[in-house]
Amino acid sequence: MTKATATADRLRQTGWSRLRGRLFHFYFRLKRPMTFGVRGLVYDADQTSVFLIRHTYVPGWQLPGGGVEVGETAIEALQRELFEEGNIEIAGSPLLKSIHFNRQASRRDHVALYLVESYRQTAPKLPDREIAEGGFFPLDRLPDMTTPATRRRIAEVFGGAPASPDW
């Protein structure tokens, strides 16, 4: 990522974008007493690259995913989120790797991390209102602004680090 892109990223996360992110969290707190989300660690068969996304309303690169909706299973939410955020269709059974408490989002939020090796990307992800960018990145060259939680999950899966109970 260039210095100009990183600066633009930081500027985009101020003002309306930051307020919008807080409004989303406030809305979810009103509608759901406890939130449960899913994230997918989508990686290639030789385990050298992973798919990451960058939202328009929060800073940093992260694993794709989102909240489990009412009446939806975690797997259905994962399938929906991966398609919405990366045009990725799951071809095999994702593996539930770990569940984490996400204190940064709220005192009621938990995230299930699934490993996805068998998939098909129908087309490269184009920017939209939610996703600014998405793509595959080599494990040894993750974007500079990859979130700490994303780096921890990758280290747990590919580096043998112990799984943290916190996101």
Please report the domains of the chain, with CATH numbers, ordered by start residue: 3-158 (3.90.79.10)
Edge-to-edge strand order for the sheet containing 61-62? 61-62, 49-55, 131-138
pLDDT in tens, 99-136: 999 988 778 889 999 999 999 999 999 999 999 999 99
Residue 62 C-alpha from the chain's centroid: 5
Mean of the per-residue pLDDT values of the chain: 89
Q: Say what the pTM is.
A: 0.80
